[in-house]
Amino acid sequence: MAESGEVYARALSAASAGRFPQARRLLDRARVLTTDVDLLARIELTSAYVVAETGDPAAATATCRALLDRSDLRDDTVGRTWLQLGLLQMRAGEAGEAMVSFGEAATRLGTDPEAFGRVLNNRGNVHLQRGDAASAAADFAEADVQFGRAGLDVERAKARFNRGYAELLRGDLVAALRGMDDARDVLAPLSPAYRATVEQDRAEVLVAAGMSREAARALEAAASAYGARRLRRFQADCELTLAQTLLRGDPARARVVARRAARRFRAQDSELPALRAEGVAAAAEVAAGGRAPALLRRLDELARCLDERDDRRDATPLRLQGVRLATQRGDLDDAAARLGGVRVRPADPLAVRLHWREVRAELAEARGRRAEARTQVRAGLADLHDWQSSFGSLDLQSTLVGHGRDLAQMGLRSALSDGRPELVLEWSERARALVGRVAPVRPPRDPALAADLTELRVLHGAQPAPRSPEARRRDELAAAIRQRSWYGEGGGEVGEPTSPDALRAELAATDSALVAHVVVDGRLAALVLTPDHAAVHDLGPADDVRRLLDAVAADLDMAGSDLAGPFAAAIRGSLTQRLATVGDRLLGPLLPALGDRRAVLTPSGHLAGTPWSLLPGLAARPLTIPTSATRWVEQRAAAAPGDAPGDGPGDGPGDGPVGGRVGLVAGPHVPRGEEEVTKAGSRWPGAEVLVGADATAARVSDLAARVDVLHLAGHGRHPGDNPLFSAIELVDGPWFGYDIDQLAATPDVVVLSACELGRVAVRSGEEAVGMSAAWLHAGARAVVSSPALVADDVACEVLAAWHGRVSHGEAPADALAAASADLPAGGAPSPFLCFGAGW
């Protein structure tokens, strides 16, 4: 008996880990070693689980029913049979029947922590099927407690992981990540199947975070792992999630993947998930432009079938797709009737609520009710911003913007069609730089994150060979750092766009003009707002401007290198010509209204990398590029008297940074780097300068937290796949954008004199993220950096002059314009820009 129990325990462990061939062998062995009816019944239950997981859930259900018909089993064995039956019913999509079975199991197993924990864990999954994430989270939390009493660490990890998934559906990404990450280290090593399951569910977190590409890669890897082990049900689950991930960006492929998943589900007799997969395929047809009446009928039928199976969570999006399709077909009365039958609750997932707002706005727009459409868009974006504001991470905030991209474009399109400047201003602010409206919060210092950053610096310095253990460790650390940075909590505050009157007052006080470029449906427009003028200009197609800007960027990088002779003259001649063409396209019609005022620029992400300070009409003009006009007004209003930038050019000490604590750093291998920071530092009494062996990450972090002005000179890097790993090279390795959040305090003004550190990666069409954005998000008032390579001589001369002017009270943007204007004509250009509030 003891031996049979031991063999059965090994079989159970193998089945739980997905090692089904091994489980079968052990179960067969256990059968011949015992005559105990209850142990034999448990062996049959585990066999039923293996049979169900490997393709025959009907046979597994029959086994459970046969055991329940017996009268010779102990009450706890009957309870476990109800538990197994409930699991099978849950997998088949029979949520109501599963809840009954789990209820029967709970009454018989309530005094057994291990068994009761399993009931709660599985019942929580039924709550998830029904869209009741709050009840699911409660069951998973209690399952964690029960498994803890039983001393079952693996089962506790499963419960914590499931609770993380429930928190994901409730919209709390930070709690979801914490729960999943706490459990991952326990579950992933158990088997390839568990590892794939962990990656699949974490991919759904990435989807919620707006990181669809990363999620798709993780899901494809997980599906392949399941397929290699012939775990077809798991493979189908993964493919369904992948299809949902692809739906917005690649609907044609989403349809193919969803249909494949539906076939796999039906081969497993899993009708409910098959219906879900068919629903995703139908939604993909709508997204790809399908308009046939048959498609509308299919959406209705699928929604009805899902409702019959108590799956409102998946039925609601299909009904919304029906509203959208009826609107697109021009049957507006039918669309309105369909919309009236859709009920969306505040507790529904954000994606569903945004979808609901989108279709309501589309219908209002189709009826010519533009104001009503904009009301729906505002409400949807407000939901998104409330969610965004709960996260402190710039990385996470910026990726989340993708959820509101379509809504924001709808609002901006409507505003441009209306043509009123005040409306265009509102939607330029709502649709661009959405992160800029979320109040930044300084996160607490994370010692574990700081240690990971230190280790990553060492590994980068070692330059490990590709696919070596060190290279793998470097990649693991980068992923862990990014993830830990997401844990920071936000302040929950979101600002409304500034009013035209408030903005005009600030523009008047600073002798400035606002220029807001926007891109909608491939066309470029610009709003010009001054204290006494407002106009919206159509500037034509946007794509050719983007191509010109890419060519300008290449010329700038060449012009910033050490060129001489005829080749240098040719490059600079080409650059001058292209800058004139770009300036004419972006600014030509706007310049009369600007006069000689300072310029506050809020460009579309489509124009990222534009060297504004070099364009004819803006050269030698003070420019500042805030995250939004709203943020610029807020920063000026928040500045205390005597501490703030002045009210006009050259207004004295108030224009400069607070106090005079200045730190300057030169990284290694920059020909004139040490000269640059020494020369610039001489403009300030008591400036601290770190060069050579003193320019370490630890000392730079200490210096950055103590000064008002920080100047970093060195070689830089800007990885486009994760711009917050932008870094400046120091003597002991790279100092990353993620290091900024580890500072106890942030400088008021930061100068980045490093190739690539002024570059940005654009997310979701509008959010520009990089080292400059990281400093502004952390609380810096202004950042001086360049979107292109700057010649060492130019950086040395311009920035030394800039420090001299700022030390005498000039505002950062004014000082930069004047210092750049003093360069001799015909030489290498100075593409430095001032980001944030430059005055």
Query: HEC string of 59-97?
Result: HHHHHHHHHHCCCCCCHHHHHHHHHHHHHHHHHCCCHHH
Q: Are 342 and 319 in contact (CB under 8 A)?
A: yes
Distance CA 558, CA 566 (A): 13
pTM for this model (two decimals): 0.80
What is the spatial distance between Cα 576 and Cα 257, in angstroms, rounded to a whole number?
50
- With pLDDT > 70 as the criterion, what percentage of the chain qualifies? 90
- Running DSSP on this structure, what letter comes out for residue 612? G
Q: What is the pLDDT of residue 319?
A: 97
Contact 627/600 with Cβ under 8 angstroms?
no
The 10s digit of each residue's pLDDT in 79-105 is 999 999 999 998 887 889 999 999 999
- What the block records as the tokens of 624 is 């500042």
- CATH number at 636-836: 3.40.50
Average pLDDT for 737-755: 91
pLDDT of residue 653: 33
Q: How confident is the model at residue 567 (pLDDT cuts 50, 70, 90)?
A: low
CB 427 within 8 A of CB 412: yes
pLDDT digits (tens, 9 = 90+) for 818-827: 999 999 887 7
Which of 344-348, 430-434, 644-648, 699-703 is most confident? Answer: 699-703
CATH class for the region spanning 2-163:
mainly alpha
For residue 717, the model assigns a pLDDT of 80
Q: How far apart are CA 546 and CA 607, in angstroms?
A: 7
- Alpha carbon 393 to chain centroid, angstroms: 9
pLDDT at 534 (0 to 100):
97
Do domains 2-163 and 636-836 share one topology? The answer is no
Read off the tokens for 61. 């259900």
Q: pLDDT digits over 385-410, tens only?
A: 787 777 767 666 666 666 778 888 89
Of 652 and 287, more confident: 287
DSSP 177-244: HHHHHHHHHHHGGG-HHHHHHHHHHHHHHHHHTT-HHHHHHHHHHHHHHHHHTT-HHHHHHHHHHHHH
Q: Are 588 and 556 in contact (CB under 8 A)?
A: no
CB 832 within 8 A of CB 790: yes
Residue 209 predicted with pLDDT over 80: no
pLDDT computed for residue 131 by the predictor: 78
User: Confidence class of residue 596 from pLDDT cuts 50, 70 and 90?
Assistant: very high
Written as one letter, the residue type at 524 is: L
User: Is it the case that residue 171 has pLDDT exceeding 80?
Assistant: no
Task: Calculate Rg over the CA atoms of the chain.
Answer: 31
pLDDT(436) > 60: no
SS3 of residue 524 by DSSP: strand
The confidence score (pLDDT) of residue 235 equals 92
Instruction: List, in order, residues 6 or more apart from 21 with CB less than 8 Å away.
Output: none
Compute the distance between CA of residue 352 and CA of residue 443 in angstroms, rounded to an integer: 30
Q: What is the pLDDT of residue 705?
A: 95
The three-state (H, E, C) secondary structure of 106-133, written as one string: HHHHCCCHHHHHHHHHHHHHHHHHCCCH
Going by C-alpha positions, the residue among 77, 84, 95 that lies closest to residue 61 is 84
DSSP bridge partners of 514: 529, 600
Q: Is the pLDDT of residue 678 over 70?
A: yes
Place of tokens 């399109």: 413
Burial class (CB in 10 A: 0-12, 13-18, 19+), 151: exposed
pLDDT score at 207: 78
- 15: which 2 tokens? 């089945």
Using the structure block, give the residue that is written with the tokens 């060195």: 714
Q: What are phi and psi of 200, to 5 degrees?
A: -65, -50
| pLDDT score recorded for residue 804 | 96
**Length of the chain, in residues:** 839
Higher pLDDT, 296 or 769: 296
Rounded CA separation 609/785 (Å): 11
**CA–CA distance, 504 with 834 (Å, rounded to integer):** 21
Mean pLDDT across 710-715? 94
DSSP string, 302-319: HHHHHHHTT-HHHHHHHH
DSSP state letter for 374: H
Query: For position 251, what pLDDT does the model report?
Result: 95
Q: pLDDT tens digits for 601-613?
A: 999 988 988 999 9
Look over the chain and give the mean of its residue pLDDT values, rounded to a whole number. Answer: 88
Q: Are 478 and 527 in contact (CB under 8 A)?
A: no
**Model pLDDT, residue 313:** 85
The answer to whether 74 and 51 have CB atoms below 8 angstroms apart is: no
Q: φ, ψ for residue 26 (rounded to 5)? A: -70, -35
Q: Above 90 in pLDDT, residue 558?
A: no
Contact 766/605 with Cβ under 8 angstroms? yes
**Does residue 657 register a pLDDT over 50?**
no
Of residues 477 and 622, more confidently modeled? 622
pLDDT confidence of residue 654: 38
The pLDDT value recorded for residue 403 is 73
- Report whether pLDDT(412) > 50: yes
Task: Please list the alpha-helical segments (H only) found in 389-466.
Answer: 394-400, 405-418, 421-431, 447-462
Question: Looking at residue 650, what is its pLDDT?
Answer: 40
Q: Are 760 and 768 in contact (CB under 8 A)?
A: yes
pLDDT at position 434, please? 56
Domain limits of the chain?
2-163, 224-437, 445-487, 500-604, 636-836
Dihedral pair phi/psi, residue 525, rounded to 5° = -135, 160
- For residue 719, pLDDT over 80 is answered with no
Residue 226: closest CA among 476, 472, 20: 20
**186 near 154, Cβ under 8 Å?**
yes
Tell me what the mean pLDDT of segment 713-724 comes to.
Answer: 78
Cβ 607 vs Cβ 772: under 8 Å? no
* Structure-token pair, residue 379: 């409400």
- Give me the architecture of the 224-437 domain, per CATH: Alpha Horseshoe (1.25)
Q: What share of the chain is helix, strand, coil (3-state, %, to 5)?
A: 65, 10, 25
> How high is the pLDDT of residue 651?
41
Given a contact cutoff of 8 angstroms between Cβ atoms, the answer to whether 323 and 343 are in contact is no
Indicate the burial class of 412 (C-beta count within 10 angstroms; 0-12, 13-18, 19 or more): buried
Does the pLDDT at position 301 exceed 70? Answer: yes
pLDDT digits (tens, 9 = 90+) for 103-145: 999 999 999 999 999 999 999 999 988 878 899 999 999 999 9
Mean pLDDT confidence for 532-555: 93
The pLDDT assigned to 658 comes to: 43
Compute the average pLDDT of residues 626-645: 75
Checking if the pLDDT of 283 tops 60, the result is yes
8 Å CB contact between 641 and 655 = no
**pLDDT for 17 beyond 90:** no
Is residue 718's pLDDT more than 90?
no
